[in-house]
Chain A
Amino acid sequence: MKAHLMYAGRDVAAGTTLPKYQHDVIQDLGLQTMINTMAAADDNIAQVARDSLLTSLSDIGSILYRQAALKDCIAHAGAVRELHDLAVETVNAERRGFLYGIPMVGKTPGSVLFWAINLLEMLEAQLQRLRRFADQHASEFTSPAFTTLFEMLQRELSDDYLESVRDHLRRLRFPNGLLLSAELGAGNKGASYVLRKGAAPESWIRRLFLGDSAGSYAFKIDDRDEAGLRALAALKDRGIALVAEALGRSTGHILAFFRMLRTELAFYVGCLNLHQALKSLGCPTCMPTPQEAAERKRSAAGLYDPALALALGRGVVENDLCADGKRLVVITGANRGGKSTFLRSVGLGQLMMQCGMFVAADRFEASVCEGLFTHYQREEDPTMQSGKFDEELFRMSSIVDDVVPNSLVLLNESFAATDAREGAEIARQVVSALTECGVNVYFVTHQYEYAQSIQATEESGALLLLAERREDGTRTFKIMPGAPLHTSHARDLYDRIFGRSGEQPPTFEASAVLRGREVSGGQS
């Protein structure tokens, strides 16, 4: 019995160890904010949300399978949360193991059997509840994931079946004693013990107390004979070893079923939580349209950064994107003009789509990508430029270790920790090599050198975007198609932070002198 809510006909891999670059993705895309909203303080949901977001589906069928299930969930949020609660309750009940005997004490067959029977009595009741839930709700759901699950529960957990489970649990307490068969092994020691379905107990009791009847001999161990009683217990253990193992495994498997059910529902409950949170902020969501990688599609309307919206607790700037057929998108323009936010919204949109979730946009259509990589500037050690550049290239190199054709690489101010011309040259070499290999690159840069060289070779299939800046210098945080400008508007920032003094804004040379003066002033 399998839940299979995440994949058609397949379990979700538990406890995935994520490749190292994924930690960069979490950090660079601000994924944790979204994960926290999804989790709503449930650690298990947090784990599942994180794993699902980072374990991208690249097969469109699988994405649509989850989208359909998620639509069901949004339509029947209450029922889905109830089902999740049932799974959580079962798993938590097992964790309070002392109620069922501490599992596996010494791992003797007797202790395993005791643990398993007690636990199974609880699990049987939960299975019954699960069946009744299916009876009640099966007709409301339409997605393949949920209809298959409910059909299976109704088919496998019939009343007759559950009664046979209860019957076994009664018999396995052996009210009539234990009947074993055995053979003579090496050294005439009893071997090949097999537990047998007991004969009627009366005939045996008669033999024992009315003297030996034909072909049967008996003895009794004295209550005070401790060694004898221990030996008898050991013999019993040998007799029930197989059934204890079988029952132990079954118990483990049923628990695993509930755990899996909880895990798979956790994803959908997480999606519901996020959906609700964005809705309450008035932010739109849509079911995206995944396309084959070869189509090279990526277009969106009203695309925004959900992490930012959640962090600010309000709606944020939305952008449109039309990058169909483009391997390379270069985003330039004003500092603090929304470039990074835009890049994040592209990355998050892609991840959300490829885990089968809705996307934070009015419309989102994109080719699936084989892995998403981020390369952002790191804050640490800003004084040691050469060391920083070294570190930057080290990370770039490990990305190159892992990318494949149709990967998506998001570069944010990469290759900037060095002289502009050198940086541009390295950027050209790395980025052109990546795109020539079929890797998709979104590159946020204020490196005029580089952006201009891309503009000069526009026919290469690159899209140039620009962070909008109005004539008066105010930023709209809108990203529009546009050629790179020579300045990154540092002056605007300076003005805003230091206030307009009415003076002529200092020229580049003047500001250098000014800084020089400050430094020398500090020294004297």
Chain B
Amino acid sequence: MPSVDFKSILDEEEPAAWDGSIQAPECLADLNLDQVIDAIVGADDEYRLRPFFLSPLATARAVEYRHEVMRDLDSERTFGYVTEFASAMRRVREQLAKAVKVTPLQSQRLFLDALRTYSQAVVDFGKRLVSSPLNSRGLRSFGKYLSRYVASPAFGSRASSADTLLLELHSIMYSVHIKDNAVSVSRYEGQADYSDEVAETFAKFSQGESSSYVGPLRDSIDMSQVEERILSLVARLFPPTFAKLAEFRERNQGFIDPTIARFDREIQFYVAYKAYVARFIAGGLPICYPEVHAEPRTMFASDTYDAALADSLIARGASVVLNDVVLEDGERLIVVSGPNQGGKTTFARLFGQLHYLAGLGCPVPGRAARLALFDKILTHFEREEHVENLRSKLEDDLLRIHDILERATARSIIIVNEIFSSTTTSDAYFLARQIVERILALGARCVCVTFLDALASTDDRIVSMVSMVSPDDPAIRTYKVARRPAGGRSYAATIAEKHRLTHACVRARIEAAKQ
């Protein structure tokens, strides 16, 4: 086997074993990331991709490794190479699976077909990778790996003997004569094509294109008993060729290289993710490669959105509201307040989704983003189904928050949705204050959705964001969540926005006018 400086297309280092033992992070359901992952891997998850999407990366370098591969695949041509390779490998698997279930004469041939499909796929893909202008460490070193593999004598002689054998099979031509229930098989002796003659006789009536009359014939690789009997007679007509076919299979068991098989599975991580975000791009929504840092300093994402929600909105043909989120250096906690059903929870989810997807080394929803890695994302969303009465709900809330604070570190992200809604405002405010103090002391990043707008003005590490209403009719939600002081002022602010008189707008307009 060729020397092995290529390990995995998902990681430069020897990656963990991706198997069913990987636990899903608890935050997935709260953030609707379970829906996102379901949509990415698909119902059958043919390549068992789910574990890949349950394991966020720990270093910026690892994220960079995946960004490189993903960017290479942004080239339509390279992406096409990969999907062609994947479908060839799928064909190999299908042919081998089929070979187990049929008569020896078919099975031997299916084995030959599979080996040829595999050899051709590996040769083509290797050539294409080597001649493509690739920038990723991953694809470049896999390309080198393939060229060395293809150049090895074992591979070469196997492929050429397969070609020779197939050519011999292709040259076989035989006749079948059917009269009543009797079938006779012999070598073909050059009799004329009768369909042509018939078509020619009637050609003068042609009125141009017409629809087809004969419905599609069932075209499966399966053989009927009649076909099997004919095949066995054909084998008797051409004995040396069929002897070689049987011997070929005995000599070439286990021809698939394990590193290539692994690549075939792992590259689907990228393919599946790209297929997933294609729906957003088609829907006119932005997708970007985030800048990903190890330490949380200034973070932002512009024109971002909740992927799970956007997916279903696009499917219904509804429009998707874009939001901006910014945390300046030193700012740690976003308090989201404002009218209900105004997009607050969606905003909290998208904050978590952004970080999670960035942590997988994937592009994220938004026009531009700069994000930091995390050790865990901890969420506290209401879970009414577990609650018997008000008292136990408050207790449950506090227990869960306590648990979260126990586990959180300065590198964690905490998302709290509607905390303490089951108690009086003053009690809730008191409790929330305590929790916020603790989170601030910890230094974790946090989004806190709350009806307690006073919470927003207690500390300059806290940012206040508000869900907005329409200036024409305050009863209409815009699903915009914008950075502005909490409480009562959103109406006037939205009017200013409508007239493009927000701070950002005015600046942008003045700058545009200068040019």
On A, residues with C-beta under 8 Å from B are 1-2, 11, 104, 106-109, 112, 116, 156, 164-165, 168, 171-172, 176-184, 186-190, 194-199, 201, 204-205, 207-208, 215-223, 227-232, 234-239, 241-250, 252-254, 256-257, 260
Q: How far is the CB of A415 from chain B (nearest CB, A)?
A: 39
Question: Helix, strand, loop or mixed for chain B's interface?
Answer: mixed
Please report the C-alpha to C-alpha distance between residue A183 and residue B238 in the assembled complex, in whole angstroms.
Answer: 13
On B, residues with C-beta under 8 Å from A are 95, 98, 102, 105-106, 108-110, 113, 169-170, 172-189, 191-195, 197-199, 201-202, 204-207, 210, 212-215, 217-218, 221, 223-227, 229-231, 233-234, 236-237
- What are the 3 A-B residue pairs with the smallest beta carbon separation, nearest first? A177-B179, A248-B213, A107-B215
Q: How far is the CB of A160 from chain B (nearest CB, A)?
A: 12
* Chain B residues with CB below 8 A from A181, complex form: 173-176, 188, 191
Do A184 and B187 have beta carbons less than 8 Å apart? Answer: no
Do A184 and B224 have beta carbons less than 8 Å apart? Answer: no
Do B197 and A229 have beta carbons less than 8 Å apart? Answer: no
Do A215 and B187 have beta carbons less than 8 Å apart? Answer: yes
Please report the C-alpha to C-alpha distance between residue A165 and residue B203 in the assembled complex, in whole angstroms.
Answer: 12
Please report the C-alpha to C-alpha distance between residue A447 and residue B44 in the assembled complex, in whole angstroms.
Answer: 75
Do A235 and B237 have beta carbons less than 8 Å apart? Answer: no
* Chain A residues with CB below 8 A from B214, complex form: 107-109, 112, 241, 244-245, 248
Given A177-B178, A197-B193, 4 more contacts at CB 8 Å?
A: A168-B201, A182-B174, A189-B231, A227-B225
* Chain B residues with CB below 8 A from A235, complex form: 176, 178, 224, 226-227, 230
Please report the C-alpha to C-alpha distance between residue A249 and residue B204 in the assembled complex, in whole angstroms.
Answer: 12
Do B217 and A256 have beta carbons less than 8 Å apart? Answer: no
Do A232 and B175 have beta carbons less than 8 Å apart? Answer: no
* Chain B residues with CB below 8 A from A104, complex form: 213
**Given A197-B192, A197-B194, A252-B213: A182 in contact with B181 (beta carbons within 8 A):** no
**Given A177-B179, A253-B205, A257-B205: A231 in contact with B184 (beta carbons within 8 A):** no
Tell which of A176, A198, A208, A245 touches B212, judged by Cβ atoms closer than 8 Å: A245
**Given A186-B221, A190-B227, A190-B231: A179 in contact with B197 (beta carbons within 8 A):** no
**Given A182-B176, A227-B225, A250-B202: A217 in contact with B236 (beta carbons within 8 A):** yes
Q: How far is the CB of A179 from chain B (nearest CB, A)?
A: 5
| Centre residue among B113, B185, B191, B212 by max chain A CB count within 10 A | B191
Do A216 and B184 have beta carbons less than 8 Å apart? Answer: yes
Q: How far is the CB of A277 from chain B (nearest CB, A)?
A: 34
Q: Which chain B residue has the least Cβ–Cβ distance from A179?
A: B177
User: Could you show 26 A-B contacts with beta carbons less than 8 Å apart?
Assistant: A108-B214, A112-B214, A177-B180, A182-B173, A182-B176, A184-B169, A187-B109, A188-B109, A189-B231, A198-B177, A199-B191, A205-B179, A217-B236, A220-B182, A231-B226, A234-B224, A243-B199, A246-B195, A248-B212, A249-B210, A250-B202, A250-B205, A253-B202, A253-B210, A256-B207, A260-B207
Do B195 and A194 have beta carbons less than 8 Å apart? Answer: yes
Please report the C-alpha to C-alpha distance between residue A218 and residue B175 in the assembled complex, in whole angstroms.
Answer: 11
Do B201 and A164 have beta carbons less than 8 Å apart? Answer: yes
Please report the C-alpha to C-alpha distance between residue A218 and residue B186 in the assembled complex, in whole angstroms.
Answer: 9
Please report the C-alpha to C-alpha distance between residue A189 and residue B109 in the assembled complex, in whole angstroms.
Answer: 9
Q: How far is the CB of B87 from chain A (nearest CB, A)?
A: 15
Do A165 and B201 have beta carbons less than 8 Å apart? Answer: yes
* Chain B residues with CB below 8 A from A186, complex form: 109-110, 113, 221
Please report the C-alpha to C-alpha distance between residue A190 and residue B192 in the assembled complex, in whole angstroms.
Answer: 19
Do A156 and B210 have beta carbons less than 8 Å apart? Answer: no
Q: How far is the CB of A225 from chain B (nearest CB, A)?
A: 9
Q: How far is the CB of B193 from chain A (nearest CB, A)?
A: 6
Do A217 and B237 have beta carbons less than 8 Å apart? Answer: yes
Do B226 and A228 have beta carbons less than 8 Å apart? Answer: yes
* Chain A residues with CB below 8 A from B170, complex form: 183-184
Q: How far is the CB of B196 from chain A (nearest CB, A)?
A: 8
Do B225 and A189 have beta carbons less than 8 Å apart? Answer: no
Do B221 and A189 have beta carbons less than 8 Å apart? Answer: yes
Tell which of B184, B193, B234 touches A184, judged by Cβ atoms closer than 8 Å: B234
Q: Which chain A residue has the least Cβ–Cβ distance from B107?
A: A187
**Given A218-B185, A235-B226: A176 in contact with B179 (beta carbons within 8 A):** yes
Please report the C-alpha to C-alpha distance between residue A233 and residue B165 in the assembled complex, in whole angstroms.
Answer: 32
* Chain A residues with CB below 8 A from B169, complex form: 184, 188
Do B182 and A2 have beta carbons less than 8 Å apart? Answer: no
* Chain B residues with CB below 8 A from A107, complex form: 213-215
**Given A180-B176, A187-B113, A188-B169: A208 in contact with B182 (beta carbons within 8 A):** yes
Please report the C-alpha to C-alpha distance between residue A295 and residue B205 in the assembled complex, in whole angstroms.
Answer: 42
Do A244 and B175 have beta carbons less than 8 Å apart? Answer: no
Please report the C-alpha to C-alpha distance between residue A384 and residue B193 in the assembled complex, in whole angstroms.
Answer: 75
* Chain A residues with CB below 8 A from B173, complex form: 181-183
Do A217 and B184 have beta carbons less than 8 Å apart? Answer: yes
Please report the C-alpha to C-alpha distance between residue A178 and residue B109 in the assembled complex, in whole angstroms.
Answer: 28
Q: How far is the CB of A385 from chain B (nearest CB, A)?
A: 35
Please report the C-alpha to C-alpha distance between residue A52 and residue B186 in the assembled complex, in whole angstroms.
Answer: 60
**Given A181-B174, A232-B226, A257-B207: A218 in contact with B184 (beta carbons within 8 A):** yes
* Chain A residues with CB below 8 A from B207, complex form: 2, 11, 253, 256-257, 260
Do A223 and B210 have beta carbons less than 8 Å apart? Answer: no
* Chain B residues with CB below 8 A from A242, complex form: 195
* Chain A residues with CB below 8 A from B217, complex form: 109, 237-238, 241
Tell which of B172, B206, B233 touches A219, judged by Cβ atoms closer than 8 Å: B233
Tell which of A180, A218, A241 touches B182, judged by Cβ atoms closer than 8 Å: A218
Tell which of A172, A189, A227, A260 touches B227, judged by Cβ atoms closer than 8 Å: A189
Please report the C-alpha to C-alpha distance between residue A198 and residue B234 in the assembled complex, in whole angstroms.
Answer: 20
Do B215 and A108 have beta carbons less than 8 Å apart? Answer: yes
Tell which of A109, A172, A194 touches B198, judged by Cβ atoms closer than 8 Å: A172
Please report the C-alpha to C-alpha distance between residue A188 and residue B112 in the assembled complex, in whole angstroms.
Answer: 10
Q: How far is the CB of B248 from chain A (nearest CB, A)?
A: 13
Please report the C-alpha to C-alpha distance between residue A104 and residue B215 in the assembled complex, in whole angstroms.
Answer: 9
Do A198 and B178 have beta carbons less than 8 Å apart? Answer: no
Please report the C-alpha to C-alpha distance between residue A96 and residue B257 in the assembled complex, in whole angstroms.
Answer: 64
Do B181 and A223 have beta carbons less than 8 Å apart? Answer: yes
Do A245 and B213 have beta carbons less than 8 Å apart? Answer: yes
Please report the C-alpha to C-alpha distance between residue A318 and residue B188 in the assembled complex, in whole angstroms.
Answer: 81
Do A187 and B177 have beta carbons less than 8 Å apart? Answer: no
